[in-house]
């Protein structure tokens, strides 16, 4: 399998190791690690994605594009994005998943499923291209 041409496997796309260590320490300091089962973390992650979704629920397309800079919504968007990231990184850590490797692998799979020459400008699923 060829690597996605724009992203060499040797180049890290994300480095969550410092955040993962900080989250582990945060949980240990509060004796919360015992609550951080994958099941519980996935449910918490889902709740945070729901809170992020709620911000955008009734927005127009234009309002949603400005949500990150709009004074009325930007802080809530930042907070919920951070919560999603925190739970995602903690979940990966608990499961022993290297997020950088997972992202590289998934990007490669997507590049193969959605070749630019077939997918460009289309919202069709790869099975319909």
Residue 10 lies in a domain: no
Residue 28 lies in a domain: yes
Residue 94 lies in a domain: yes
Residue 67 near residue 77, CB atoms below 8 Å: yes
Q: For 98-122, how does the pLDDT look when each residue is reduced to its tens digit (9 = 90+)?
A: 999 999 999 989 999 999 899 999 9
Domain of 61 in residue numbering reads as: 17-119
The predicted structure's pLDDT at residue 2: 43
Mean pLDDT across 79-87: 98
Nearest to 56 by CA among 40, 67, 44, 71: 67
> Count of domains in the chain?
1
Quote the CA–CA distance of 105 and 43 in Å, as a whole number: 25
Residue 50 lies in a domain: yes
CATH number for the domain harbouring residue 41: 1.10.287.1080
- Split at pLDDT 50, 70, 90, the class of 31 is very high
**Percent of all residues in the chain with a pLDDT value above 90, rounded to a whole number:** 81
Residue 73 lies in a domain: yes
Residue 82 lies in a domain: yes
Tokens standing for 29?
């300091």
Rounded to 5°, the CA angle 79-85-91 comes to 135
The predicted structure's pLDDT at residue 80: 98
Residue 1 lies in a domain: no
Specify the pTM: 0.88
């Amino acid at each position: 399998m060829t690597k996605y041409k724009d992203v060499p496997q040797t180049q890290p796309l994300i480095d969550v190791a410092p955040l993962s260590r900080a989250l582990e320490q945060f949980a240990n300091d509060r004796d919360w690690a015992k609550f951080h089962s994958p099941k519980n973390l996935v449910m918490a992650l889902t709740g945070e994605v729901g809170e992020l979704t709620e911000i955008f629920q009734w927005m127009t397309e234009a309002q949603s594009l400005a949500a990150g800079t709009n004074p009325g919504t930007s802080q809530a968007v930042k907070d919920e994005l951070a919560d999603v990231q925190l739970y995602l990184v903690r979940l990966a850590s608990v499961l022993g998943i290297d997020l950088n490797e997972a992202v590289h692998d998934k990007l490669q799979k997507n590049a193969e499923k959605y070749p630019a020459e077939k997918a460009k400008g289309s919202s069709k699923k790869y099975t319909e291209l």
